[in-house]
Copies of this chain bind each other. A is one copy, B any other.
Amino acid sequence: MLSDDQLQDLNRPLLDEHQFRYQYLRDLLARRHVDAQDVVQQLNAFQVAIPSWALGTGGTRFGRFSGGGEPRSLEEKIDDVALLNQLNGSSNSISLHIPWDIPQDVPALQQQLKARGLTIDSMNSNTFQDQPGQSVSYKFGSLSHTDAAVRQLAVEHNIECVRYGQQLGAGVHTVWLADGSNFPGQQHLRRAYQRTAESLASIYEAMPSDMTMLIEYKPYEPNFYSMVIPDWGTSYSLCQYLGKQAQVLVDLGHHLPNTNIEQIVGRLRHFGRLGGFHFNGSMYGDDDLTTGSTKPFQLFLIFNELVDAAQDDTVNQEAAVAYMIDASHNTKDPLEDLLQSVESILGAYAKALLVDRAALHEAQENNDVVRAEEILRDAFLTDVRPLVAESYRQSGGALQPVAVYRAARVRESLIQQRGKLSLSTGL
């Protein structure tokens, strides 16, 4: 983390431009009877969790090009997230992945988190890889495996994650299941589903009553003929089977081409079953790019559904939606990528907050297609970056996080501390 002085010094040359832009936007919004500060406060309150596995350079099956200075331990990962949160004031929690992030000394960890102003938001299990010395293999599946011993191992691993989560105060246990098949006939599709449902039930029963299980779906990869949980309908059916603490997790990169994701989001909110998001950027599939880098309009439309639902009395507001990034950075500095991602998310949220919802609903009721569209577009086309920057400022962060990160030469310091060849766990 930077010292407060250092941060202020780095902000100073950016302040005049910021004031110029923010003042204009405040005036512009005031003409529409919108109080900019109201929007900024909502941005201040918005937090998106950082995944521990995105703090290092990722790769594809074709190769990996590390950038250096990657965190070598859970403690260093927490340090990295603390830095991000210092810069943008919007990343005050971290998602852990077991076994990559097994805490060795829980009290010390809790102390570090507290000192950094961070929390653990969720635990993520891993049954898509075999660990050294593992008794049975996940090669042909885990929670859905035909062999009860493998299912048992996978269930126990998930329960172990739940236990770590309880110790660390994580409210969420996320299950992404890589299980599936590569060839027609390989897997009995109905039985694999039923075995999965039963395995999940065993984990569900082990959860404390204040924990949520998020069930992720993905149409393909690492299995290329069928995935046991390929679509939201399957996740949803499993949630219904399990109970109220089970919720669907939407990962932006886990959809077939041309899917209208914002509609799925609205649908799940309607059903009271949207538990969380994995933000990333996708052009072809699970590309794991920077959030907002390829389809910024879609990101806005998703937040439009979220804001609309959050302001709707007919929607069950009990279940919180957990916002998390899930990305992999092959060519960018991971920390820069995460700063960009959070900025895109805040921008999309700010735009969604600017939508004139009363006017939109009126246009929708009257089927005034052009007007309804223009109301959305008006919000989308507005340059909301000054609102986001003001939120950073009010949270004690950097007016321009990436620029300040670069000016502070953070990566160079990290390389010096951790080495050029340090490797973080992750994909």
A contact set with B: CB distance below 8 Å: 17, 20-21, 24, 27-28, 31, 58-63, 65, 128-130, 137-140, 146, 178, 181-191, 193-194, 219-222, 224-226, 230-234, 236-237, 256-260, 262-263, 266-267, 269-271, 282-285, 287, 289-290, 293-297, 301, 304-305, 308-309, 312, 315, 330-333, 336-337, 340, 347, 360-361, 363-367, 369-370, 372-377, 380-383, 385, 402, 427
Q: A270 and B193: CB pair below 8 A?
A: yes
Question: What chain B residues lie within 8 Å of A383 (beta carbons)?
Answer: 381-383
Q: A305 and B186: CB pair below 8 A?
A: no
Q: B295 and A295: CB pair below 8 A?
A: yes
Contact of A369 with B309 at beta-carbon distance under 8 Å, contacts A222-B63, A381-B347 already known: no
Question: What chain B residues lie within 8 Å of A234 (beta carbons)?
Answer: 233, 267
| Among A189, A290, A373: residue with most chain B CB under 10 A | A189
- Kindly identify which residue among B58, B224, B233, B375 contacts A231, using a CB–CB cutoff of 8 Å: B233
- In the docked arrangement, what's the CA distance between A231 and B235, Å? 14
The oligomer's copy count stands at 4
Contact of A225 with B260 at beta-carbon distance under 8 Å, contacts A62-B427, A185-B360, A373-B183 already known: yes
- Kindly identify which residue among B60, B225, B232, B333 contacts A233, using a CB–CB cutoff of 8 Å: B232
Given contacts A63-B130, A186-B331, A231-B233, 7 further A-B contacts (CB under 8 A): A182-B332, A189-B266, A193-B267, A231-B232, A234-B267, A340-B373, A340-B374
Q: B190 and A294: CB pair below 8 A?
A: no
- In the docked arrangement, what's the CA distance between A366 and B220, Å? 23
Q: A188 and B361: CB pair below 8 A?
A: yes
- In the docked arrangement, what's the CA distance between A201 and B302, Å? 29
Question: What chain B residues lie within 8 Å of A236 (beta carbons)?
Answer: 233, 237
Chain B, Cβ-Cβ closest to A367: B140
Question: What chain B residues lie within 8 Å of A181 (beta carbons)?
Answer: 369
Chain B, Cβ-Cβ closest to A234: B267
A397 CB to nearest B CB, Å = 18
Q: A130 and B61: CB pair below 8 A?
A: no
- Kindly identify which residue among B60, B308, B332 contacts A222, using a CB–CB cutoff of 8 Å: B60
Question: What chain B residues lie within 8 Å of A186 (beta carbons)?
Answer: 331, 364, 367, 369, 372-373
A62 CB to nearest B CB, Å = 4
A291 CB to nearest B CB, Å = 12
Contact of A237 with B190 at beta-carbon distance under 8 Å, contacts A260-B226, A331-B182 already known: no
Q: B62 and A222: CB pair below 8 A?
A: yes
Q: A128 and B62: CB pair below 8 A?
A: yes
- In the docked arrangement, what's the CA distance between A333 and B373, Å? 13
Chain B, Cβ-Cβ closest to A268: B233
A99 CB to nearest B CB, Å = 13
A155 CB to nearest B CB, Å = 19
Q: B376 and A184: CB pair below 8 A?
A: yes
Question: What chain B residues lie within 8 Å of A184 (beta carbons)?
Answer: 262, 293-294, 297, 301, 304, 373, 376
Question: What chain B residues lie within 8 Å of A185 (beta carbons)?
Answer: 360, 363-364, 372-373, 375-377
Q: B224 and A284: CB pair below 8 A?
A: yes
Q: B189 and A283: CB pair below 8 A?
A: no
Q: A182 and B330: CB pair below 8 A?
A: yes
Q: A294 and B293: CB pair below 8 A?
A: no
- In the docked arrangement, what's the CA distance between A184 and B186, Å? 30
